[in-house]
Structure 1
Amino acid sequence: MTLSSFEEFLKSLQAHPLIHPKISKNAYVPLDLSIHNKELDSVDVSSSKALEAYIWNHLKSNNAKVAFGGYLEQRGIYNRSDYFNTNKPEEERNIHLGLDLWIEAGTAVYAPLEGKVHSFNNNTNYGDYGPTLILEHHIENETFFTLYGHLSLTSIQSLKVGVEVKQGQRIATLGTAEVNGDYAPHLHFQIIRDIQNYKGDYPGVSNRLDLEFYKTNCPDPNLLLKLD
């Protein structure tokens, strides 16, 4: 299936909300964490507490409960971690490949589609996902994967590979900065067409050199979620 066909396929699916549907889409607000957001010039984005304060203020000022966004954003937040950086600027990974939902720790996460547990892992590099779950989906003869990062430790403690997951089933809760890679609490959600040989992990941030591949392999999650 071509990328454009797969994107149309995603649009055609009726996904269950990742966060409880009692929170209506009217309570969601876009959030820009790119290097182009001048408001962040006065925020220490290397501090999870400072970034959390900025996000909660953004929610409050917009009378919202969930902030979302980030697909293909070039972000400065990754500069703090050697995990994303090299000595070559063109190899620096700072382009975000998923969609983030920013809401308090402990918030439940629900499966958008039916599937099964592909893999899970606690990715403990500084600035990494922390506890991570990947689901495998087989829908209309199409196979693809969804990744859920920055979860709580309890979310992955009793998981088993291959276990079936129903659409709308509670699959995880969000972790605190202490376990989620040192970020303000949020969910990183990513669609992956070819998981390659990854298990419990998959790149969520790209450099410029690899971006065209990842744009094809990881299309915009909002095609499925339809948040705006």
Structure 2
Amino acid sequence: MIDRLFAKPLTDSTSVSLDLSATNLDLLPSIYGNASAFNAYIEAKIGDKIGYGGYLEHRVIYETYANFETSSADFRNIHLGMDFWTTAGTPVFAPLDGVVHSFMVNDGAGNYGPTIILHHPKANIYSLYGHLSMGDLSQLEVGMPISAGQKLCHLGNQTENGGWPPHLHFQLIRDMQGFQGDYPGVCAKRDVDFYAHNCPDPASFGIV
């Protein structure tokens, strides 16, 4: 497939589908419950390739973070975007013409860290880029035009991206619902019908 986000083809030799779902029996609590072990797991799975996947994936890993808990027995654990796992500092390119809608640093363990949201008027869609490098926000202004293929940002390291192994969380959003610089990237199972419509599969837009 041609991935507009990384401006190059993602082939069998350069990428690998990554399963982080609850059905992956290799992803044990001792791995997803430990940041160092999880980082080592990701590195072992992808090697020098780009790992990708995760749209509407049920991930138990979120149940280790308090900010994903909705009640004593319920969590937001359905992933609403697509993740791309590779090395910190990897550049990311805008897939469509648009303008900067908003940006901010979403602090906290398990959160997005530096985040950018673009609006694409012609496609009538928004795109969110999470877990970025802190320096990517310094030159942005709301309303700034962004061209398709323009270098937009870089993958952040674990000290700035919410504590995750370096990766891009990419998500499409139809209605921002008033959010600025942030939008839920994970939902509870009871809300999946709404979010699956409001956050469509990036593959349906030909972006990946």
Q: Could you tell me the TM-score, scaled by structure 2's length?
A: 0.93
AA matched with 1:216 = H
**How many Å apart are 1:47 and its aligned residue?**
2.8
1:12 alignment counterpart: none
What is the match of residue 96 of structure 2?
113
Counterpart-to-counterpart distance in 2, 1:76 and 1:42? 9
2:57 to 73, 97, 110: 73
In structure 1, what is the Cα distance between the partners aligned to 2:55 and 2:151?
24
Instruction: Determine if the alignment matches structure 1 residue 135 to structure 2 residue 118.
Output: yes
Instruction: Give the drift of 1:102.
Output: 0.3
The DSSP-based 3-state class of the residue aligned with 1:210 is helix
Contact 1:155 1:172 in 2 (8 A): yes
Q: 2:173 aligns with which of 192, 212, 219?
A: 192
Question: What is the CA-CA distance between 1:225 and the residue it aligns to?
Answer: 4.6
> How far is 1:43 from its partner?
4.6
Equivalent AA in structure 2 for residue 58 of structure 1: K
Query: Residue 80 of structure 1: CA displacement?
Result: 1.7
Q: Which residue of 2 aligns with 1:155?
A: 136
Q: List alignment gaps of at least 5 residues for structure 2.
A: none
Is 1:96 matched with 2:79? Answer: yes
Figure out how many residues of one structure are paired with residues of the other and give that number.
206
Q: Any idea what the Cα deviations from partners look like across 1:5-24, whole Å, max 9, x if unmatched?
A: xxxxxxxxxx8621141x54
Confirm whether residue 170 of structure 1 aligns to residue 151 of structure 2.
yes
CA distance in 2: counterparts of 1:114 and 1:54, whole angstroms? 36
Distance 1:48 1:223, change over 3 A: farther
Percentage of matched positions with identical amino acids: 44
Between the aligned partners of 1:125 and 1:152, the Cα distance in structure 2 is: 15
Provide the C-alpha distance between the structure 2 equivalents of 1:47 and 1:75, rounded to a whole number of angstroms.
15
**Distance change in 2, residues 1:203/1:42 (3 Å):** closer
1:123 and 2:106 matched? yes
1:145-194 CA-to-partner distances (Å, cap 9, x unmatched) read 00000001001122100000000000000101111111000000000000
Aligned partner letter, 1:77 = I
Matched, 1:218 2:176: no
Structure having the higher strand fraction is 2
**Matched AA of 1:187:** L
Return closer, same or farther for 1:114/1:16 CA change in 2, 3 Å cut-off: farther
**When the two structures are superposed, what TM-score results if normalisation uses the length of structure 1?**
0.85
Alignment check: 8 A CA contact 1:16 1:167 kept: no
Q: Secondary structure at the match of 2:27?
A: helix
In structure 2, how many angstroms separate the alpha carbons of the residues matched to 1:131 and 1:199? 13
